[in-house]
């Protein structure tokens, strides 16, 4: 059986991974003023977007593919190339991509037979839309696991069972660098969690919130003074989770900027060494434009699957 994997462009993984595993990307359009940029997870294009639009990203509008656009992509290409497709989306609480893909799947399953018959492709087609219930680097962890299972020949029902077990144990921890951007973005979306007083105090004292994503919820779990100290604590915590035992041998890290700057953050090289010692593969990538729009330049995020825990424990 030919099994394919589709993710949206908020999924943070290295560009090479998408090519090696033939992962299809649902792009997200970014609108700033009269300009439009389509996020297709191309690192150099992403960095160029950072350079050109950084001062305006907090005011950007994001637009995922519509129901009709997703349907057209499947019927034109995916129902012909695969017999089963997993469509893994960003958290449904943060984006309409899951709802759009779910709605499109109903039409796709009704209409695929004609497309396959016309192309001379025999047999049935099926797909499953899955809400990762998480964002950015955490999405990447699930994509790596699905790609691994496809490569080793696991059937769709086993892959689905594995995802059902992992999603409740999937965590994202993110550390923003630019508090002004975070507040401006929150204000635009009507989120009052970063109010003026918190922003003023945080800016004056250089306090950064550490944000956790888990089961369709995101929110701060710690406040850390100075970004470098926050990165050190975040990477040290990731080392602790690795030593405690991850549920998949995968750690995804994304950075909103040049990866050379990620390498220089305190504690990062120690994290890579601990991961190597414990057989955990680290996937470092330039954060998607969607991530940059929401959390700002210089933000770092990690994703992993782990038993229930609290930050620092």
Token pair for 34: 């009269």
0.85 cut: is pTM over it? Answer: yes
135-194, pLDDT tens digit by residue?
999 999 999 999 999 999 999 999 999 999 999 999 999 999 876 555 555 555 555 444
22 and 157 share one domain: yes
Domain count of the fold of the chain: 2
Number of H helices, E strands in the chain: 13, 13
Tell me, yes or no, whether 154 and 271 share the same domain: no
- Per cent of the chain over pLDDT 90 is 72
- Parent domain of 62: 3-162
Give the CATH number of the domain where residue 27 resides: 3.40.50.10170
Task: Using the 3D structure, point to which of 128, 162, 196 is the last residue of a domain.
Answer: 162
Question: What confidence category does residue 53 fall into, taking pLDDT thresholds of 50, 70 and 90?
Answer: low
Tokens of 206: 């250089």
Q: Is 312 a domain residue?
A: no
Determine the pLDDT at residue 191: 52
Does residue 272 lie within any of the structural domains? yes
* Alpha carbons 55 and 114: distance in angstroms, whole number: 48
185 and 297 housed in the same domain: yes
242, part of any domain: yes
What pLDDT, in 10s, does the model give residues 232-269? 999 999 999 999 999 999 999 999 989 999 999 999 99
**What distance in Å separates the CA atoms of residue 254 and residue 136, rounded to the nearest whole number?**
8
Measured over all CA atoms, what is the biggest interatomic distance in the chain, rounded to whole angstroms? 66
In a domain, 264, yes or no: yes
Whether 205 and 284 share a structural domain: yes
Looking up tokens 């462009």 gives 9
CATH of the domain at 286: 3.30.1180.10
Residues 87 and 58 in one domain: yes
Q: What is the pLDDT of residue 108?
A: 98
Which of 218, 228, 108 is CA-nearest to residue 177? 228
187 with 281, same domain: the answer is yes
Q: What is the DSSP letter of 90?
A: S
Q: What is the DSSP string of 105-150?
A: HHHHHHHHHHHHHHHT--S--EEEEEE-SS-THHHHHHHHHHHHHH
One domain for residues 80 and 221: no
């Amino acid at each position: 059986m030919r099994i394919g994997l589709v993710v949206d462009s908020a999924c943070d993984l290295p560009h090479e991974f998408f090519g090696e595993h033939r992962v299809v990307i649902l792009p997200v359009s970014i609108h700033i003023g009269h300009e439009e940029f389509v996020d297709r997870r191309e690192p150099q294009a992403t960095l160029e977007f950072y350079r050109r639009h950084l001062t305006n990203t907090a005011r950007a509008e994001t637009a995922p593919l519509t129901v009709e656009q997703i349907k057209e992509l499947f019927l034109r290409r995916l129902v012909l190339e695969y017999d089963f497709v997993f469509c893994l989306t960003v958290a449904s609480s943060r984006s309409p991509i899951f709802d759009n893909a779910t709605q499109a799947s109903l039409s796709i399953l009704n209409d695929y037979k004609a497309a396959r018959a016309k192309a001379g492709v025999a047999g049935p087609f099926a797909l499953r839309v899955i809400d990762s219930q998480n964002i950015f680097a955490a999405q990447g962890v699930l994509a790596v696991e699905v790609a691994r299972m496809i490569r080793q020949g696991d059937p769709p029902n086993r892959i689905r069972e594995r995802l059902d077990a992992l999603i409740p144990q999937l965590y994202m921890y993110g550390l923003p660098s630019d508090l002004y951007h975070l507040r401006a973005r929150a204000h635009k979306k009507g989120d009052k969690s970063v109010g003026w007083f918190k922003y003023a105090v945080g800016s004056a004292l250089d306090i950064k919130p550490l944000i956790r994503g888990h089961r369709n919820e995101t929110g701060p779990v710690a406040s850390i003074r100075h970004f470098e100290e926050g990165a050190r604590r975040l990477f040290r915590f990731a080392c602790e989770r690795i030593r405690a035992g991850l549920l998949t041998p995968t750690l995804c890290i994304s950075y909103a900027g040049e990866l050379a700057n990620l390498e220089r953050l305190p504690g990062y090289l120690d994290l890579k060494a601990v991961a190597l010692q414990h057989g955990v593969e680290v996937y470092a990538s330039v954060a998607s434009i969607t991530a940059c729009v929401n959390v700002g330049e210089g933000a770092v995020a990690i994703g992993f699957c782990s038993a229930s825990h609290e930050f620092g424990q």
